[in-house]
Amino acid sequence: MANRTDPAAKSIRGTNPQNLVEKILRSKIYQFTYWKEQCFGLTAETLVDKAMELDHLGGTYGGNRKPTPFMCLVMKMLQIQPEKDIVVEFIKNEDYKYVRILGAFYLRLTGSDTDVYQYLEPLYNDYRKLRRKLTDGCFALTHVDEVIDELLTKDYSCDIALPRIKKRWTLESIGRLELRRSALEDDFEEEEEKEEDEQVMAELEAGAHEKDYYRGRSPARDRDRDRKRDSYRHRYNLLPECHPFILIFDLF
């Protein structure tokens, strides 16, 4: 039957992969026209063509809670269970952002804790805009990095309960993940080094000015000062080396 899981598919988290989607939502997907007409007979190779046609993401919408094409393709991936290499290629696809989100969503449902962090965290650097269909049928603007943050930190996304994963610090403590390094960390280090260099240069310049003030007086300036002092002494007949008694005697 068209709704059966591929016989070669492996169980995910101890259950049939399609069971990761709740039964009510599965039934709605199976009854949806897009599923019957567009998803029938899709393989791992041809599914990417359908994914390239996506222009929005979302779970269900409207009064009767119709599933979106995005959710139908997620269901199809659970049914045929593509190889991990194909899913990774979806995630690394930089030309089609909805293909990237589709691969990330599927990996979040089926991947190991380590793979989820390893392949989804780099997408925090993708700030492209996405259209998301809300439950009332209207569209809202979001971004790739916001969707990734939702997949890594929330319990629900697109009306699907996300499997629990270990916290990142737990995987770091047991050595299954390396410490996360932000893409902006290098920029911060360069900025700190620049500020330190500017501070050192300012201190050196201040020391040089102080040295010039106390030790670097020009000879011409010193000669002018001595000349003015001698003129003052001669005008008032002051002899700094003579005794006051001698000055009085000279007056008589």
User: According to the model, what pLDDT value does residue 252 have?
Assistant: 45
Structural domain span for residue 251: 218-252
| Predicted pLDDT at 87 | 95
Is the pLDDT reported for residue 244 higher than 50?
no
Helix (H) or strand (E) holding 230: helix 219-235
Residue 12 domain flag: no
Q: Assess whether 130 and 152 both reside in one domain.
A: yes
Comparing 24-28, 52-56, 192-196, the range with the smallest average pLDDT is: 192-196
The top-scoring range by mean pLDDT among 19-28, 99-108, 184-193 is 99-108
What's the structural domain count of the chain?
Answer: 3
Question: Which tokens sit at 100?
Answer: 């990237």
pLDDT tens digit sequence for 199-223: 777 777 776 655 555 555 555 555 6
Looking at the structure, do residues 133 and 199 belong to the same domain, yes or no? no
Calpha distance 238→227 (Å, rounded): 15
Same-domain check for residues 24 and 114: yes
Residue type, 72: C
Does residue 149 share a domain with residue 189? no
Q: Residues 67, 164: one domain?
A: yes
Asked if residue 79 has pLDDT above 90, the reply is yes
Query: Is 31 a residue whose pLDDT tops 70?
Result: yes
User: Is residue 223 a part of any domain in this protein?
Assistant: yes
Check pLDDT > 60 for residue 248: no
The predicted-structure confidence for 155-186, as pLDDT tens digits, reads as follows 999 999 999 998 888 888 888 788 876 666 66
Domain identity same for 86 and 109: yes
| pTM for this model (two decimals) | 0.72
Q: How confident is the model at residue 13, as a pLDDT? A: 80
Residue range 226-245: mean pLDDT, rounded: 53
- What whole-number distance in Å separates Cα of residue 87 and Cα of residue 122? 15
Q: pLDDT higher for 196 or 227?
A: 196
Report the distance separating Cα 79 and Cα 222, nearest Å: 95
Report if residue 87 sits inside a domain: yes
Distance separating alpha carbons of residues 91 and 46, to the nearest angstrom: 16
Answer with the residue of higher pLDDT: 64 or 132: 132
93-146 tens-digit pLDDT: 999 999 999 999 999 999 999 999 999 999 999 999 999 999 999 999 999 999
**What is the overall mean pLDDT for the chain?**
82
User: CB 173: neighbour CB atoms within 10 A?
Assistant: 11
